[in-house]
Each structure stands twice: as C-alpha cells, then as structure tokens.
Amino acid sequence: MKLAGLKSIENAHDESVWAATWIPATETRPALLLTGSLDETVKLWKPDELTLERTNAGHCLGVVSVAAHPSGSIAASASLDSFVRVFDVDSNASIATLEAPPSEVWQMQFDPKGTTLAVAGGGSASVQLWDTEKWKLIATLSIPRQEGPKPSDKNSSKKFVLSVGWSPDGKRVACGSMDGTISVFDVARAKFLHHLEGHFMPVRSLVYSPADPRVLFSASDDAHVHMYDAEGKSMIAAMSGHASWVLSVDASPDGAAIATGSSDKTVRLWDLSMRAAVQTMSNHVDQVWGVKFRPPGGPGPRAGRLASVSDDKSLSLYDYS
C-alpha cells in the first residue's frame, strides 16, 4: 500500500484550489478531474498528464465545492455566493442553477445512484436534497435544535453544516458541523437518527467506507481522523498524526486505506488494518484542501489514482497501489 507521485501542475489555477473531485469515466472518455478555485473558475483535467480540458467561468467569489454525478455526464459546482451550478460535463451546457436561501452551500455529494444531490447548508443547520431529474428541492434534513434556555447565537452557529456524505447503499446521509458533531439521517424517511460525538472542532469532510456501509470517516480541525460505526453510534478509532486541521478525507475504492489532506501541507495515506499513517506526501507548500481517489470503471489505465489540491494553486496526481 503506497502512493507514488505521478504529476504535479503548478499554478493550475490563478488562486488557491479549494475543491476537487473525479468525474467518472463514460463510454467515450476516461475519468476527468474537476477542480474549483478561489479564482472563480472550475477546470477539467485529463489524467494522467493532467492536460487542461476546459475552464468554466461563471462563478462569483470562490468555488468551495464540486461534485460529480455517478454517470459521469453531469457535474455541480458551488461557490461562496451560495449558488450551485449544474452543468453537462461534455458540452459545458448549463443544466440548472440551484439556490435555497437563506442556506449557503458548502460540501455537496450525489447519491450513489445519482438520483439525489445532497448539499450541506451551512448556517441553516440542514442538508438540502435536490432531485436530479427536475432539479427540485425534495427534502431538507434539519438537525434538531438543542433544547436550551435560549436558542442563542452560539448554538445555531455551532450546528453550521459544513460537510456531507452518502452511505454507499444510499440509505443514509451524514453531515458534519462546526461544533464537531456528526448527524446521521435516514434518507427514505427524511428523519434525523442520531449524533456521533467525539470531535469538538469543525468537521470539514466526511466519507463512508465503500466496503462497509456502517463505517464512516470524519476529518476535523482537531487534527484527528475518527472512524465511526455510524449505525452503532460508536467510535471505532481515533487517528492522530496531522499537525493541524484535517481538511479532507477520502476512502480508497478497495476500502483498505484512506487518504487525508491537512493544513499542515501534507497528504497522508492511512492503512486501516494498522489504523496508522503509513505514508506522508509533502509536495504541497500550503494547506491541502482536497484529496480524492479516482472511482473504478471506464476505459483507460486501471491503476488507482489519488488527486490532491492545495492553497498553493497546484494539483498533484499520485499512483495508489
């Protein structure tokens, strides 16, 4: 289990790169890497040479997250102005612009079947679910407010939702908040199930294990990665090693490893059997905002790939084997 650097693009964007995801391969083309940046653009890159396929403008303020539909034909990007732009990957034609005021938009993810887009709704303390056929809002999963003498400022800003993740069976959505709590929802009933506790600082990234729909990984500003049994409400392990905030976490398609990106400028690979970091990549010179494993399937080389993007305006591609 190791990572080997393949290619890095310096100045891939004019400003910090804040988001990255892989657009799955289609019958006509291989998987593409989609990146979003503070420079208000979204770019498409073709592996392994990372040649720039296209630059999409049209966002105001920085692009904070990007998401790709499992079919590989549709992608979404969201920026600080709280608009979600949905576009056709191959033609760049705009499909929809989503907005659900007063929620702002942070992390987004399509469900595994591609029927729903989940959007972390920031200060609204909720996750919005959008239907991907008609692009209508179908549900708002709200975190129940804690009972207290006064529903003051603090509580609401604490439940600010930053991150969202679908379970591989599509039955659950988990979202992470500024106060470190993770909330788990039953999608079918649009119902809040329970909290997962353990973090006390913002949870910026969440991912379910592709191998086990119960296992959830969370990355937090407390420099830890937690591994939860999301159904049993229990914490399986807490993994430390990063020197600063853990900004992004992704699980490898084989389910044996996870990768994390951190403010400490490193990308780490964690062996889940040892529950320890087995490799640290330090090729970035500023915070690493996104790490993403390439999903399996499609034509082209079959080897595992991991991409990372950073505040240093660069993106890097690694071979994962």
Is 121 a binding residue for another protein by CB under 8 A? The answer is no
Dist. CA 39–CA 62, nearest whole Å: 6
C-alpha distances (whole Å) from 88 to each of 20, 46, 71, 74, 148 are 17, 16, 11, 5, 46
Is 160 a binding residue for another protein by CB under 8 A? The answer is yes
Q: Which stretch binds another protein (CB under 8 A): 129-137, 155-163, 167-175, 299-307?
A: 155-163
Dist. CA 244–CA 257, nearest whole Å: 21
Dist. CA 3–CA 313, nearest whole Å: 21
Dist. CA 62–CA 66, nearest whole Å: 12
- Applying the rule CB under 8 A, the residues between 238 and 257 that interact with another protein are 238-245
Is 4 a binding residue for another protein by CB under 8 A? The answer is no
Query: Nearest Cα to 35, choosing from 309, 287, 320?
Result: 309
Closest distance to another protein from the beta carbon of 265 (Å): 7
Nearer to another protein, 26 or 156 (CB): 156
Dist. CA 238–CA 229, nearest whole Å: 12
Query: Nearest Cα to 274, choosing from 229, 239, 319, 304?
Result: 239
Is 62 a binding residue for another protein by CB under 8 A? The answer is yes
Is 96 a binding residue for another protein by CB under 8 A? The answer is no
Is 212 a binding residue for another protein by CB under 8 A? The answer is no
Q: 3-state DSSP call for residue 237?
A: strand
State residue 142 phi and psi, 5-degree precision.
Answer: -100, 140
Is 316 a binding residue for another protein by CB under 8 A? The answer is no
Is 185 a binding residue for another protein by CB under 8 A? The answer is no
Helix/strand/coil (H/E/C) assignment for every residue in 21-56: EEECCCCCCCCEEEEEECCCCEEEEECCCCEEEEEE
Closest distance to another protein from the beta carbon of 153 (Å): 4
- Applying the rule CB under 8 A, the residues between 8 and 47 that interact with another protein are 15-16, 18, 38
Q: Which stretch binds another protein (CB under 8 A): 42-50, 69-77, 131-139, 222-230?
A: 222-230
Residues contributing to the site for another protein (CB under 8 A): 15-16, 18, 38, 60-62, 64, 80-82, 101-102, 104, 106, 122-124, 152-153, 156-158, 160, 162, 178, 180, 195-201, 221-224, 228-229, 232-245, 263-265, 274-276, 286-287, 311
